[in-house]
Amino acid sequence: MGIDPKKLKRIPTPEQAPEERIHNFLEVNYGYDLESAQQEAFRCVKCPEEYAPCIKGCPVHIKIPLFIKQVEEGNIKEALRIIWMNNTLPAITGRVCPQEDQCEKDCVMGKIGDKINIGKLERFVADYARKTGIEEELLEEMIQSIEKKDQKVAIIGSGPAGLTAASELAKRGYQVTVFEALHEVGGVLVYGIPEFRLPNELVEHEVEKLKRLGVEFKLNYVVGRTVTIPELMEEYDAVFIASGAGTPRLLNIPGVNLGGVYTANEFLTRVNLMKAYKFPEYDTPVHVGKKVVIIGAGNTAMDAARTAKRLGADVYITYRRGEEDISAREEEVHHAREEGINFKLLLNPVEFIGDENGRVVKVKFEKMETLEERDSRGKRKIRGTGEYVELEADTVVIAIGKTAGKIIFQTTPGLEVDKRGTIVVDENLMTSIPGVFAGGDAIRGEATVILAMGDGRKAALAIHEYLQNKQ
């Protein structure tokens, strides 16, 4: 009798040991090899497409049972072809999607045993195809099938929303130019998410693929300053705004301007983009001191904490709510705990205390307690207890979220935004200006990579339709 896949346990992926990885910035998880990926794929019962809860849970509805079947049969080219129908950046989403809340959330195998490791299988397909040349074959097929068009599309921002839209439009033959404010392409994928979670070379590889599809990149180009949207509209047939939500929220408490108090944006950009993690090879060191206090408990907070740990500090994650309301991916919280990051929950910062040189030395918190009632986002309400504690700190990193920047709105007459500054769009992601579309964090506030990519794809299809009708 054959082995019953339902009785098998989830096949683990090897990882760098915590005591080793806290001294380097190399990727933590090594992913599956072919054999272990096939074993994991064998466990999936391949639910019928119309029912499969994993497809429903994935924001871009990848045909998960179909690609997993191809993995099981060792047909990685077909697996990649299936994934690419809905997702052009599987090496990235396989690494950073919050799978536990999406594709893996309602996996039927979870009812009788372990859920299928969909994210790591998706990552495996992308990595294996890249390393073996399978991806190159598919890319060549794609390039050969492109029928070039004269119409031009401008994309503002090169994060996951911009890159996905660029890929979908270039595949349909449009002349695409991406305008990026920074000197590197990739948005949060390169300046936010650290090397040990998402190696930069993977993003660079995706950018090279886009260049081969004919996409042009203009770097150090701040739309709203170097050029405005009305000016772009004179040269381009459509515009897609994918400028993200790059303005950090600040804490309005005493001491926020002391030396050593950073926003997570500042801190992570310094380490990632200026390559401070490669000191002394790159002469841009970041001195964090012995004790680092992080404020917040989302993905950004985990990344800042784990980065500070790798720079040699003792790190404390502080959060005003309780454990159940931590919003970071499960894997990140698990890895942070393994790496010895201390979690101090139900602490609300009320003051940063400095020394005579104007540098932070302590953070004062009010202790909080949770109530039964929940707020509009489903989080448990909290209230102060009137008791206070202090934590020593050489560096503080504030990671409490980001909002959209104002420069595009201020320089684009007629562009409607809501009261938080996020761009208002219709069901086809068109803004209040005909021919100008928007997506990703610019319309959602800080969200996720896959939602940004989903918007990029949806906007590209809407732009395609708009331009066909225009012709």
List interacting residues with ligand SF4 (CB under 6 A): 44-47, 52-54, 58, 60, 62, 64-65, 68, 87, 93-94, 97, 99, 102-103, 107-109, 116, 118-119, 122, 450
Q: Which amino acid is at 52?
A: A
Q: Residue from 31, 192, 260, 354 that binds ligand FAD (CB under 6 A)?
A: 192
Question: Do residues 122 and 93 touch, judged by C-beta distance below 8 A?
Answer: yes
Min. distance of Cβ 108 from ligand FAD in angstroms? 24
Question: Which residues inside 319-348 make contact with ligand FAD, applying CB under 6 A?
Answer: 329
222 touches which of ligand FAD, ligand SF4, none (CB within 5 to 8 A by kind)? ligand FAD
> What is the Cα–Cα distance from 37 to 13, expressed in whole angstroms?
9
Whether cis (ω within 30° of 0) applies to the bond prior to 280 is yes
Which residues touch 132 (CB under 8 Å, ≥6 apart)? 76
> Choosing among ligand SF4, ligand FAD, none, which partner's interface includes residue 109 (Cβ < 5 to 8 Å by kind)?
ligand SF4
> Which member of 22, 80, 129, 181 binds ligand FAD (CB under 6 A)?
181
Q: Which of residues 271-310 bind ligand FAD (CB under 6 A)?
A: 299-300, 303
Q: Which residues pair with 353 in a beta bridge?
A: 362
Which one of residues 83, 96, 153, 393 is an interface residue with ligand FAD (CB under 6 A)? 96
- Residue closest to 121 by CA, chosen among 60, 69, 193, 199: 69
What are the residue ranges of helices labelled H in 181-263?
A: 188-191, 200-212, 229-235
Q: How does strand 395-398 pair with strand 436-438?
A: unpaired
When CB distances are held under 5 to 8 angstroms depending on the partner's kind, the choice from ligand SF4, ligand FAD, none that residue 122 binds is: ligand SF4
Choose the one of ligand FAD, ligand SF4, none that binds residue 58, judging by a C-beta under 5 to 8 angstroms depending on kind. Answer: ligand SF4
Beta strands 360-374; 380-392: pairing state? antiparallel
108 binds, among ligand FAD, ligand SF4, none (CB under 5 to 8 A by kind): ligand SF4
405 sits near ligand FAD (criterion: CB under 6 A): yes
Among residues 84 and 352, whose Cβ is nearest to ligand SF4?
Answer: 84
C-alpha distance from residue 36 to each of 41, 74, 120, 364 (Å):
9, 11, 11, 49
331 binds, among ligand FAD, ligand SF4, none (CB under 5 to 8 A by kind): none
10 Å CB burial of residue 168 (0-12, 13-18, 19+) is: buried
119 binds, options ligand SF4, ligand FAD, none, Cβ within 5 to 8 A by partner type: ligand SF4
Start-to-end C-alpha separation, the chain: 63
Q: List residues near ligand FAD by CB under 6 A.
A: 96-97, 156-162, 179-182, 187-188, 192-193, 221-224, 242-244, 246, 268, 299-300, 303, 329, 405, 407-408, 440-442, 446-450, 452
